Structure formats: C-alpha cells, structure tokens
Amino acid sequence: MPDSEESFEFVDKRRSSGEAVPDEPAQETDDRSAAAGEPESATHGEPHPRLAAADRLLMCIDILHQGAWIALGLVTDPVTNQIQKDLGEARVLIDATAALAEHAEGFVDEPVKRDLRNLVATLRMNFVNQSGRA
C-alpha cells in the first residue's frame, strides 16, 4: 500500500460577504493613525461611521430593555442559560429604560416615539403581571 498524503485547504468563511478570501499577509497598522486616535475598521482601513446621539440612546435603551425581560424572568439569561426572576432589578431596568426613552423622544421621529412608548408600557404591564405571581 503506497503512502499517500491527503491535502486540504483551509477556507475562512467568517467574512460577511460569504466568499473565501485567499491568505493575505498580516498588515501592520499605521502607528500615526493609531496615535492620533483615528478609528479604523477591521476591513479595508475605513473609519467607522459616527453614531448620532439618538442612535446611542436607542442602543442603551435596547440593552436595558433586554435586561429587564431577563430580570422579569420571562427570557432565559444567555449567561447562565436559566430563567431567574429578580423584580427589584427589573424595576430599576424598566425605570431606566423609561427615562432614556422619554429623553430620546426629542431626537426621534413619531413612529419611533410610538415604539418606545409601547416598549415601556409592555415592560410595565409585564412587571405588574410578574409581581402578582410572586
């Protein structure tokens, strides 16, 4: 039986475009741009777009909103893979979500305002329901 060596090719498919990229030598970053604090994208060296204040507020609201659902015991905690209810924590997160949503209303258009109001109302309604079950 002759010795035969099988060869294989490693293809990194983690890229968002879905197409394989040939092995490229690692590129060194320009020390001048890093020292100047210029943001640089991981691909193509293009700067990241600047986020507006409303976008940052909406991101924070989303984080608090998701945490509130977890604290209400209605969503599995992705860290522990368990459902645990903590109504004290839920109250804090819902109140913070409501405060940021109210503040964001000055920066967003009417459909987003309506969505934010519905989000807060739904959280509060579920808090009352979960409080009654405790």
Domain boundaries, the chain: 53-133
Note the helical H segments in the chain. Answer: 31-35, 53-71, 87-104, 110-133
> Other CB atoms closer than 10 Å to residue 48's CB: what's the count?
10
What's the average model confidence in pLDDT over 77-103? 96
Could you give the count of Cα atoms lying within 13 Å of 15 in the half-sphere of its Cβ?
Answer: 13
Say whether pLDDT at 128 is over 80.
yes
- Is the pLDDT reported for residue 28 higher than 80? no
Nearest to 67 by CA among 127, 108, 129, 111: 127
- Give Dmax (Cα) for the chain: 78
Q: Per the confidence metrics, is the pTM higher than 0.85?
A: no
- ∠ Cα 126 128 134 (to 5°): 100
Task: Output the six-digit token pair for 96.
Answer: 């913070």
pLDDT band at 133 (very low <50, low <70, confident <90, very high): confident
Q: Are 122 and 68 in contact (CB under 8 A)?
A: no
